[in-house]
Structure 1
Amino acid sequence: MNKLISKKLMLRTLLLIGVTVSLISFYPKDDKLFSIAKNLDIFASLIRELDSYYVDEIDPDKLVTVGINAMLAELDPYTEYIPEEESDDFRMMTTGEYGGVGAVIGNRVGVNMILMPYEGFPAQLSGLKVADELLRVDSVQVVDKNTAEISTLLKGPANTEVQVEVKRGGDTLTFNLTRKKIVISNVPYHGMVDGETGYIKLSDFTTNAATEVGQAVKNLKKDGANKIILDVRDNPGGILKEAVDVVNIFIPKRREVVKTIGKLESVNATYTTEMSPIDKDIPLVVLINERSASAAEIVAGALQDYDRAVLVGRKSFGKGLVQSTVPLSYNSQVKLTTAKYYIPSGRCIQAIDYSLKDEDGNGRSVPDSLRKAFETKNGRTVYDGVGIEPDIEIDSRNFAPITYSLVTRSLVFRFANEFALGRNSIPGAREFEVSEEMYDEFVNWLQDKEYDYTTRVEKTIDDLETYAEREKYYEDIQDELASLKESVSHSKEQDLITFKEEIKEALKDEIVSRYYFQRGIIEASLDKDPELVKALEIVKDPEQYSSILSPN
């Protein structure tokens, strides 16, 4: 039956292409419409011949989808074909809403499990916990399923029932859940960092992002905040209008936030603030990093252009392209790039030119020689073509190889699971600390675990040895190399002592997540976050804050 439907779909598509070709065949051969029609005709002929003569049966839907995706890959990474069966996932990405149980699932240590229940939704309210191993969803065994298949089974219309069977420690547990409309919060956490400074974590720009940020600002001011730190690190962006409205929280009405300019007049627009701000004077610091993109860059860039906030962190991603969704036949869609955006100073922060590809087919970075200078409201110089550059740059943290090994091998994750099985509660997320006794317990637990690693120094010596052999110097320096290798050979036992504090940080974050979920992870990190520490220093020093925004 499905094969018959696919063949009917292919025949209707071919007929439509044939009609298109016939209607515009009178265009001159150098006309673009003629070129489009000619290539559509070639594509239709190819599919028809493959279906007739190829040695094995073909799947027209799959083959055409591969062709479409390959064609779009020649443009930029943001132009995407969305077939009908993926429309629900796309809707969830843009609205933050879906019908389901409210949990992130994934595969860790080769096991499908709950990675994070969302607070206040069916999974968490029913008692499902981080690291619960998924065995069955309704009547379907899911041990060997991939996470996408399990996610589909868990999702469904609101108010429908689903039964989930999990393994926790040595027990097998069954939970009966009622699916709900899941609305993922754009602000997973806001709170007071100290007695006068409020902190807001903005993780997305889906529907209601600005409303959530505005409410967070109001709550913090009621709690005594007279300074605000807005964190858009790792924020991939989202709805343009939400970005404009977030800026409007701190900027007066009728101020330009962003312009979109494209090939067609219909996509050109100027977005301005429309409401009175919640607070246009409160000292403000925005945290950004290399994963702050799109709408997050509009917010950070506009606030920088108006000298309304000090930016702390690292250079942002550099996505200055605007996508629009256009409906296609059979309930499919295409999300395509239609314009570039320009923030108030006039700069476009797009970092990659996809119209100029290198020999590997990748877009080229905008060279420094072509970057243009612009000015903020107070006359500070800012540049286009590279994302948003912070006012105060903080290097990214480098963790020791032992810490990296313990985390990536899921040993910290597994220890936290066992820790949580034996303890019903811990102190608050910010108050909880990994004690010396807990750390000793972790070190003892590691005794029979494999977590070997190569330090950077050891890797450098190995490279030196390779180059020495290649260039015929090895015999001359082999004794020195052997002595050097022996002197820097790492000891895991010593590294567990040397890097105890950062390993304890990793343990704290993982353990806290078992009791306080995503909100707890953010809260637990507040006192050890170097970018946040720097932001606090700046926002609490009026002279330093003013000198950054008004250097003249």
Structure 2
Amino acid sequence: MKFISRKSIAIAFTILLGVGVLFSFTAKNDKLFAIAKNLDIFASLVRELDSYYVDEIDAEELVTIGINAMLEELDPYTEFIPEENSDDFRLLTTGEYGGVGALIGNRTGKNMILMPYKGFPAQAAGLRIGDEFLKVDTVDVREKETADISKLLKGPANTSVFVQVKRGDDTIAVNLDRKKIVISNVPYYGKVDDQTGYIKLTDFTTNAASDVRKALIDLKSQGITRLILDVRDNPGGILKEAVEIVNLFIPKGKEVVRTIGKLESVNSVYKTTKSPVDKDIPLVVLINERSASASEIVAGALQDYDRAILIGKKTFGKGLVQTSIPLSYNSQVKVTTAKYYIPSGRCIQAIDYSKKSDSPSASLPDSLRTKFTTKNGRIVYDGAGIEPDELTEERTYAPITYSLVARNHVFEYGNKFFLENQEVPSPREFSISDQTYEDFVAWLEGKEYDYTTYVEKSLEDLEKYAQREKYYDDIKEQLESLKKQVTHSKEQDLITFKSEIKEALKDELISRYYYQEGVIEASLQNDTAINQSIAIFNEPKKLAGILTASSKKR
């Protein structure tokens, strides 16, 4: 029986380093004495477990589990980074790594390429979406975890790696020269119409501000007179990059964000330091519930200065700042050291992790949220992310569409189509013809994609409640009649929801020919938030009214 729990191991505060130094402090300092005492207990515990436990144990693994369990008690963002994970951490902060330039993952139980990055070794060598990995160098990787294959593919720039993949019935082998891979923070920018520019910002790694600046200057040279900056699904990153992006649109010397923590050394005020690229261009920032951290700094600061209209959904609400602190043996800890406050003075952290609760979150109730005002006097609130000025309605999809995508039928048909068609029109011109759709429907014959519709699920719930509350016998006949009427027909749903299934097919097929940039470009036409932005741009009085209103609905 294994009786060591994660929580019991979490007695420790860190590895055994520095125990002797800590013991040099006297017991007068109760806090330091308590730390030293518990470290000694932890060291003794691990040592005795290693000696006496009935089975062989991996002491290093247990210590790591203990460290991670301890940090989980604090917040989700404080984490231990061992030496072997340093490359992955560097990728998150810099956007750079040595490798072949491809996103890989597991689909249909097979490890394969999900997206080769344009211009990098994998794409240049002709590897495609859907290529299944067989070997990397001499290692058979068919049963390996995706993370293990990723490690094999990565390595110093200008070194070679052998890759063997399966494509349909063919086996393809290539030698790839690893390169320094720099993932752009702006995978796409372009013109939505003659007047409107669009910039998609997906990360805040090194050079994020430079990437946005270059895109903005290029779009202005093409004659745009208004701009949409899209930070939806952007998890954030380097704070300095967020400050510089805000600086593109507001004058020099303005406060963008301040950090306040327990230590004086982490208290800082970040101001704009340069002249803006354009402080007057009408600006919309698109946000959603997955816009976090640096994304919220950009959106919140521009909202506080009434410089942009925010459209979309309320953001995630991450107002915590992390600092990387080096530890021994090339490990490090990313620790929450401060909270950040945007120009109006509000902190938009949504969850108070210091309050231990049985509930999944300790969100601040609306009644305790504090009111602040923007530069023009608009009312905004702290404590729950950044709220948009204009909400976007949530788009829903039919159960059949979800099923076809989730069961990878759309993905697999994309592989089939790509093998049979050498080229397709540009992303904005390409559409799924009725002939292609009919081919897809025929290809689905015999494949499993059953699902439960919303109405069917509602009837199932009604039947359960009726049985529980003793009404079932009274309405049994009516329920059975309703069931027969609403039992879905997959064939009919393929007709009823043809347009949205076509849209899912289009995105998948476009990715095969035009990669990530093409998928983004193709999606612009049917993007509700973009259409909403253009409608507001086309009503200058409404735009000005939103930015100058003396109150803001909560």
Q: Shorter-chain TM-score category?
A: over 0.9
Confirm or deny: 8 A CA contact 1:17 1:41 kept in the other structure.
Answer: no
Corresponding residue number in structure 2 for 1:9: none
Matched, 1:381 2:382: no
Matched, 1:420 2:421: no
SS of corresponding position for 1:162: strand
Matched, 1:461 2:459: yes
Corresponding residue number in structure 1 for 2:28: 28
Supply the distance in 1 between the matched residues of 2:140 and 2:52 (Cα, whole angstroms): 40
Q: Deviations over 1:88-112 (max 9, x none)?
A: 1100111000000000000101111
Supply the distance in 1 between the matched residues of 2:361 and 2:108 (Cα, whole angstroms): 36
Corresponding residue number in structure 1 for 2:86: 87
Corresponding residue number in structure 2 for 1:107: 106
Corresponding residue number in structure 2 for 1:97: 96
Q: Deviations over 1:444-466 (max 9, x none)?
A: 11111111100011001001111
1:18/1:526 Cα in 2 relative to 1: closer, same or farther (>3 Å)?
Answer: closer
Confirm or deny: 8 A CA contact 2:116 2:123 kept in the other structure.
Answer: yes
Q: CA deviation at 1:17?
A: 4.9
SS of corresponding position for 2:352: strand
Q: CA deviation at 1:326?
A: 0.4
SS of corresponding position for 2:34: helix
TM-score normalized with structure 1 length:
0.96
Supply the distance in 1 between the matched residues of 2:455 and 2:183 (Cα, whole angstroms): 44
The correspondence of residues 219-258 of structure 1 with structure 2, limited to 5 A, is 219-258=218-257
Supply the distance in 2 between the matched residues of 1:502 and 1:267 (Cα, whole angstroms): 49
Q: CA deviation at 1:194?
A: 0.4
Corresponding residue number in structure 2 for 1:499: 497
- The amino acid of 1:502's aligned partner reads E
SS of corresponding position for 2:456: helix
SS of corresponding position for 1:177: strand
Q: Which moved more, 1:394-403 or 1:230-239?
A: 394-403
- The amino acid of 2:27's aligned partner reads Y
Supply the distance in 2 between the matched residues of 1:526 and 1:141 (Cα, whole angstroms): 41
SS of corresponding position for 1:299: helix
Corresponding residue number in structure 1 for 2:511: 513
Q: CA deviation at 1:443?
A: 1.0
Q: Which moved more, 1:444-453 or 1:193-202?
A: 444-453
The correspondence of residues 226-375 of structure 1 with structure 2, limited to 5 A, is 226-359=225-358, 362-375=360-373
SS of corresponding position for 1:351: coil
Supply the distance in 2 between the matched residues of 1:241 and 1:16 (Cα, whole angstroms): 33
1:136/1:72 Cα in 2 relative to 1: closer, same or farther (>3 Å)?
Answer: same
RMSD: 1.2
- The amino acid of 1:370's aligned partner reads L
Q: CA deviation at 1:18?
A: 4.3
Q: Deviations over 1:108-154 (max 9, x none)?
A: 01111000000110001110000011111111111111101100110
Q: Deviations over 1:231-251 (max 9, x none)?
A: 000000000000000000001
- The amino acid of 1:23's aligned partner reads S
The correspondence of residues 26-105 of structure 1 with structure 2, limited to 5 A, is 26-28=26-28, 31-105=30-104
Confirm or deny: 8 A CA contact 2:15 2:63 kept in the other structure.
Answer: no
Confirm or deny: 8 A CA contact 2:352 2:363 kept in the other structure.
Answer: yes
Supply the distance in 1 between the matched residues of 2:429 and 2:295 (Cα, whole angstroms): 31
Supply the distance in 2 between the matched residues of 1:266 and 1:216 (Cα, whole angstroms): 35
Corresponding residue number in structure 2 for 1:541: 539
Q: CA deviation at 1:55?
A: 1.6
Corresponding residue number in structure 2 for 1:130: 129
Runs of at least 4 residues off by over 4 Å: 13-18
Q: Deviations over 1:47-71 (max 9, x none)?
A: 1211221122221211110000000
1:14/1:312 Cα in 2 relative to 1: closer, same or farther (>3 Å)?
Answer: closer
SS of corresponding position for 1:353: coil
Matched, 1:489 2:490: no
Confirm or deny: 8 A CA contact 1:243 1:299 kept in the other structure.
Answer: yes
Confirm or deny: 8 A CA contact 1:21 1:41 kept in the other structure.
Answer: no
Q: Deviations over 1:205-232 (max 9, x none)?
A: 0000000000000010111111000000
Corresponding residue number in structure 2 for 1:532: 530
Corresponding residue number in structure 2 for 1:155: 154
Confirm or deny: 8 A CA contact 1:355 1:363 kept in the other structure.
Answer: no
Corresponding residue number in structure 1 for 2:6: none
1:14/1:438 Cα in 2 relative to 1: closer, same or farther (>3 Å)?
Answer: closer
Supply the distance in 2 between the matched residues of 1:18 and 1:321 (Cα, whole angstroms): 30
Confirm or deny: 8 A CA contact 1:137 1:153 kept in the other structure.
Answer: yes
Supply the distance in 2 between the matched residues of 1:212 and 1:511 (Cα, whole angstroms): 28
Q: CA deviation at 1:45?
A: 1.3
1:450/1:276 Cα in 2 relative to 1: closer, same or farther (>3 Å)?
Answer: same
Supply the distance in 1 between the matched residues of 2:289 and 2:489 (Cα, whole angstroms): 34
Corresponding residue number in structure 2 for 1:8: none
Supply the distance in 1 between the matched residues of 2:380 and 2:151 (Cα, whole angstroms): 46
Q: Deviations over 1:482-504 (max 9, x none)?
A: 01111111111111111111111
- The amino acid of 1:533's aligned partner reads N
Aligned length: 537
Supply the distance in 1 between the matched residues of 2:334 and 2:94 (Cα, whole angstroms): 15
Supply the distance in 2 between the matched residues of 1:46 and 1:217 (Cα, whole angstroms): 58
Confirm or deny: 8 A CA contact 1:132 1:166 kept in the other structure.
Answer: yes
Supply the distance in 2 between the matched residues of 1:15 and 1:479 (Cα, whole angstroms): 70
- The amino acid of 2:486's aligned partner reads V
Q: CA deviation at 1:539?
A: 1.9
TM-score normalized with structure 2 length:
0.95
Q: CA deviation at 1:168?
A: 0.9
1:222/1:465 Cα in 2 relative to 1: closer, same or farther (>3 Å)?
Answer: same
The correspondence of residues 380-419 of structure 1 with structure 2, limited to 5 A, is 380-419=378-417
SS of corresponding position for 1:365: coil
1:254/1:14 Cα in 2 relative to 1: closer, same or farther (>3 Å)?
Answer: closer
Supply the distance in 2 between the matched residues of 1:14 and 1:515 (Cα, whole angstroms): 50
Confirm or deny: 8 A CA contact 2:23 2:33 kept in the other structure.
Answer: no
Supply the distance in 1 between the matched residues of 2:129 and 2:67 (Cα, whole angstroms): 39
SS of corresponding position for 2:198: strand
Supply the distance in 1 between the matched residues of 2:233 and 2:356 (Cα, whole angstroms): 27
Q: CA deviation at 1:44?
A: 1.1
Q: CA deviation at 1:36?
A: 1.0
